[in-house]
Chain A
Amino acid sequence: MSVTSLNSFLEYRPWRGLRNPVWMGAFAITRESLKLIFTRKVFWIVFSLAVLNFLLYFFGQYLFFWVADQQPDGLVRVGGFGRANQNDMMQFLRSVLKMDGSPETFRNFINLQSRGIIVLLVLAGASLLGEDLNQGSLIFYQSKSGGMINYIGGKFLAASFLVHLFATIPALFLFLEICFIDTWTYLLYHPRLLLGIIGYGFVINLGLVSLLFATVGFFRSTIGLIMCWAGVFFLLPSLCAIMIDRLRLNPAFRVLDFWYCVERLGEKCLGASPTLLPGQTDHSLNPWLAAASLGFVFMVSSILTIRIYFKKGVES
């Protein structure tokens, strides 16, 4: 190799490519965090359970509309299993399983799916956020031009993606399924339902992800996270049940139960009629109180998050 060619090889060349805007870095963080979550076994376990639940609702709806399509007042042949009374089946699907494309269908479906999200976030949330604080890798994000805003934004997007992957997107699929099976007039008659599904998704998103940020930032470990979330999702509901259902205190105390408030808001978004759970005596929490509860959690979580992540020199 000649001297000149060596020189040109070693010569400093200015970067001639195009740079992405700084905020695009958030998407890279999102992508990498999601990859991290996808490598976890617990994600695939929870995800397969969620898919099972989705399939249950998918075929339940299908069955409902198929039965409704059959000859009126006759017997329906179900595969090779024999015959069933059409009215009985309709009745069962409509009032017991509530798989009739009503707002209650979507409420129940999203409620069930969000249990899965809670389990997933509580077990894998530490690897989404806490590890960076624990292992001192936050410094890499702090040193980039986007800084912590990109980091928080990227992680928020990643956690939100998980929430919508489990709740909103499958619910929209169910909605589309009904449009296809029934008629597209379903969409015209239920525009509120479509908006409600998206709204409920965002309520869950806001509540869970902000709670996740604050608790992970504070506890940094899965153990603390589990204990704290057990308090929020288990102790608080049972305390409220004792106070209201057994000791007949003012139902407004349910405002303490964060998750109840989220579900209540979702119910309002979808326009579903309230259904009492076994043992529940009252179901009349003012939606504004519920919204206040969610807002309070969001505020406190945001303040905690800012204090933890934007403090100068986050120690690890």
Chain B
Amino acid sequence: MMGGSSDSAISDAVPLWCRKVSKWHGNFLGLNDLSLELRPGITALLGSNGSGKSTLMNLISGQLFPDSGSIHVFGIDPWTWQGKKLVGYSPDLDYFYPSWSIKDFLARMACLAGIESKRVPSLLNKILSVVGLSSVQTTLLRRCSLGMRQRAKIAHAILMDPPLLVLDEPFRGIDPVGRRDLVQLLLEFQALGKTILVSSHELEEIEKLTDQVVMLRSGRVVSAGPVSRARDRLLNEPVEIALEIQANERIRFLAQSVLSHSEVLGVRLPEGEKHVLMVLTRKPELVFSHLVMMSIENNFLIRRLEVVDEAPAEVMESLFEG
């Protein structure tokens, strides 16, 4: 797998090929000029809330249409009906037909997907046992627990045996035993040569699944590739610290003295906020203690001291240290 590939030709063999994809949600840019290419195997999609994970997955599964750029799944546009055959998608939504049982739901979905009716019973038996729903198949969907509904969604995604599986938060609401089974299941799919894209906050499970990670942040790919590469890049990326003090007359003096620290890459005074100083650094911990010491020495009061955008660092920290 590689990220941001340039002018590689669209091949029918490439499971997923996105080029310069942008998607707006009203005034909010969900995805920003994103390019991505996936190879068979499991890939994890990481990022904080609002980083564009679900938007990307909706685009790949053809539920959204890109505002610019193009997406191809095995050479076919997923927005078209032919493309829908190739993608099995388990979305992060929790809306069902409440009065149907799990088995009816899957049988009707199979019917809508155009699977021959004589094949349906055997197929359902197999799939229900694979996702571990055989014993509760007659339960109405409105009485199902979150974990059962989650499994039903995964069963729906693999109904048509698609070569590309897109799973949005599949581990949410599933108990530890279920998670272990699901990890096992996904690894089996991988062994069958399928391509799987998983997004999750359950980093423990992601670690067990794969070391191929795509990290999104504000609609862009921050890093793509093996985990080690992502860690290096992320830990080296400068972070911005916001420092707010009580009185503003000394802020320029403060800026000068902060700049003298060796780990500070730069400072800026944001417009409109008179009491705030933004400090750019690669080692926030060192700068933090430096700032605190300075405040004691020079006798000014700190109102606020925080890392402005710490989401990727936090995610990576919990991924590797937690």
Direct contact of A and B (CB under 8 A): no
